[in-house]
Amino acid sequence: MKGFMLTICLLLGLAHFAFAEDCISLGKVDIELGAQESEILAEVEKFYRIQEDGVYPGSFFVFDRKSSQMMGTITFANNRVFSVSKSWGVFGETEGSEIMRALIGAMASLAHRSAYVSLRKISDPQLTMEAVKLSSGTRDIREIEIILTEQRGNTSIHVSEHLHRESAP
């Protein structure tokens, strides 16, 4: 656990040297905020399976066709990309190198930006969750979220990246 938090602190320091883009890549498709809905869905559908969220119309889950693993979500407002989220993966406690690759990839998007960091912890006898969220931007907000979950002796780490507009156009 201490190693995990030390890794986060190290990556925060290195984030200034990384290259940032104003989009998120879901596999082979670069998705920018404000892009046309029909164009993005057509491009994503060439490579991946998409499914509209039954609860939130205009929000779509993107799945890898071979593994059925969820890659991320895209949400549209007024036929334009409003937000996009990328799952970098869920890792077991012993998958250190994979965790580092995911963290470095996700944190690179915060380069050259001021970042706000929030920490939260939820704990009860059955479950402990610790989360670090790094946010940057004013109108277009980029967030990196790292969640460490411990339940019944099993530990997993989930790394995700989100890009969204402060409000709908």
Q: Return per-residue pLDDT of the chain as tens, 169 residues.
A: 445 544 554 444 434 333 345 788 898 999 999 999 999 999 999 999 999 998 889 999 999 999 988 999 999 999 999 999 998 877 776 666 677 667 766 766 665 566 777 778 888 888 888 888 888 887 888 888 888 888 877 888 888 888 888 776 5
Structure tokens at 33: 């905020």
pTM of the full structure? 0.68
Question: What span, in angstroms and rounded, lies between the C-alpha atoms of 102 and 4?
Answer: 13
What pLDDT is recorded for position 142? 85
Domain count, the chain: 1
Residue (of 83, 52, 87, 85) closest to 69 by Cα position: 87
Q: In the structure encoding, which two tokens stand for residue 10, read together?
A: 């190290």
Rounded CA-CA distance 26/161 in Å is 11
Q: How far apart are CA 90 and CA 102, in angstroms?
A: 10
Q: Which of 46, 122, 40 is nearest to 81 (CA)?
A: 40
Phi, psi of 89 (to 5 degrees): 130, 170
* Domain with 117 in it: 2-165
- For residue 15, what pLDDT is reported? 42
